[in-house]
Amino acid sequence: MATAADASFAPDHVPAELVWDDSLSRFNSELDDPFIAASRLIDGPPLFYARDGAQGRPGWVIARHALLAEAFMDWEHFSSEGGMDLTQMLGVDWNLNPVNIDPPMHTNYRKLLLPMFTPKSVNHMEDGVRETCDELLAKFEDKDGCDFVKDFAVPFPSGIFLRLMGMPQDMLQQFFTWEQDLLRGTSIEGRVKTGRDILDYLIYHLEQQKKQPATPLMESIMNARIEDDRPLTDGEILGMFYTFYVGGLDTVYATISWSMRYIATRPQFQQFLRDNPDKLNKAVDELLRLFSVVSSQRRITKDFTWHGVEMKENDLVIMPIFIACRDPEAYPDPHEVDMKRKTQMLAFATGPHLCLGMHLARREIRIALETFLDRFDNIHIPEGSEYEFHAGPTFNVDSLPLAWTRKA
């Protein structure tokens, strides 16, 4: 661990030996694989204080699986509320819902949404997921390759999001552009403007749904009653819409892209999956573990000592799941798929905020991989082609050139 020459970014209660004068995303971009780059931090202390933990802000970084799982469960010390980036940027008075709301209120929203995201409900969405997948493939399946990210991985979850929300499919291109601008835009002003444009569209959509809900999810949200039998406020609903948007697009696109890169560079594993379709669900879970793309954040609610380290109210805590999921204490031989692994998979977090969309996400990823393996043989990255990635709050692939042999 590099200790700070100038640790002015660290508050007084942080011991000098836990100060890390570096930026997490810069460090993670050092090698050609951000997961391997980030996992080097497991050689250091389990908990340390980084100069730039998230978008330039200093904070505690949790660098072990066991500690991260514990913090996810302990919402009384590790709060999801307040100080989170997006709603501050939008300047609204509501929170992302339910992801940035603590129990007990969180439990009300969660109860309301849970029935819409069970495996059984996802079964009803499966046809839509397959149709979206087939529509996208139809554009390039008579060719010998594609840019997997641009041609498939980005539009795929967006198409499913539109179906879930009852939004017209011709919004796909607009959503694609918004997503690129919001997540990859270089200027703050540009990202704020995009964030507001998305919000304006969500407000418009909300007004439409009040008149005539277009999907079962919209219907249950419009008719919901919470607390003393009151309907949800517009802010509560917009917080949900925005959470589905930010939670369900980038994550799925990133996981599919990293997984496809892994499969495209391991011909034997690829053929194993083709020959054993019944093993795909297990493979998807291992790929989700291997490519756990999310880094969450929490705020400390009150001064306390955690694993011998003094933490103060309002300290920011960065929770990089991508480090925890490569922790050899939890996962021996952490950088490879192991189809026999049993350890709890943390890609969807744990505790009260366990990903609500996890069954849908698993289904999307399985259907995407299954369809590619079924239609094409020998999927690979063409010689001389480079893949590109970035390592911000979510690790993501920007470009993944693929080639294949078309099946007769």
Q: Which residues bind ligand HEM (CB under 6 A)?
A: 80, 98-99, 110, 243-244, 247-248, 251-252, 255, 293-294, 296, 321, 347-349, 353, 355-357, 360-361
C-beta of 39 vs 257, nearer to ligand HEM: 257
Name the DSSP class of 96: -
Question: By C-beta, is 71 or 311 nearer to ligand HEM?
Answer: 71
Q: How many Cβ atoms are within 10 Å of 354's Cβ, its own excluded?
A: 13
User: Please, what is the minimum distance in Å from the beta carbon of residue 343 to ligand HEM?
Assistant: 17
Closest residue to bound ligand HEM by CB? 357
Contact 52, 46 (CB under 8 A): no
| Nearest CA among 333, 288, 391, 330 for reference residue 69 | 330
User: Pick from 114, 66, 401: which is nearest to 260 by CA?
Assistant: 401
The answer for residues whose C-beta is within 8 angstroms of residue 124's C-beta and 6 or more apart is 216
Amino acid at residue number 160: I
Specify the residue, 130 or 193, whose C-beta has the smaller distance to ligand HEM: 130
Question: Which residues, listed in sequence order, are joined to residue 299 by a DSSP beta bridge?
Answer: 79, 316
Query: How far apart (Å, rounded) are the C-alpha atoms in residues 372 and 377?
Result: 9
Smallest separation, CB 110 to ligand HEM (Å)? 5
Cβ-proximal residues to 152 (8 Å cutoff; 6+ apart), any chain: 136, 137, 146, 256, 368
Residue (296 or 396) nearer to ligand HEM, CB: 296
In whole angstroms, the minimum distance from the beta carbon of 125 to ligand HEM comes to 10
98/159 with CB nearer ligand HEM: 98
Report, in Å, the least distance between residue 245 CB and ligand HEM. Answer: 8
Instruction: For 186, list phi and psi in degrees, rounded to 5.
Output: -90, -30
Rounded alpha-carbon distances, angstroms, from residue 91 to 53, 96, 240 = 23, 12, 16
Reference 287, options 263, 265, 268; nearest CA is 263
* CA-CA-CA-CA torsion sign (77, 80, 82, 83): positive
Whose Cβ is closer to ligand HEM: residue 243's or residue 301's? 243
Minimum separation from the CB atom of position 255 to ligand HEM (A): 4
Give CB contacts under 8 A, 24+ apart, made by 186-191: 191/89
| Nearest alpha-carbon partner for 7 in 58, 47, 68, 64 | 58
Q: How far is the CB of 177 from ligand HEM (least distance, A)?
A: 20
Q: How far is the CB of 211 from ligand HEM (least distance, A)?
A: 23
With respect to ligand HEM, which residue has the nearer C-beta, 20 or 72? 72
State in angstroms the smallest separation of the CB of 160 from ligand HEM.
8
Residue 145 or residue 195: which is nearer to ligand HEM going by CB? 195
Q: Which residue has the tokens 């995303």?
A: 25
Residue 37 CB, nearest approach to ligand HEM (Å) = 19
Q: Can you tell me the distance from the alpha carbon of 315 to that of 303, in angstroms, rounded to the nearest whole number?
A: 9
Note the helical H segments in 249-314.
250-264, 267-275, 280-290
Closer residue to ligand HEM in complex, CB, 146/355: 355
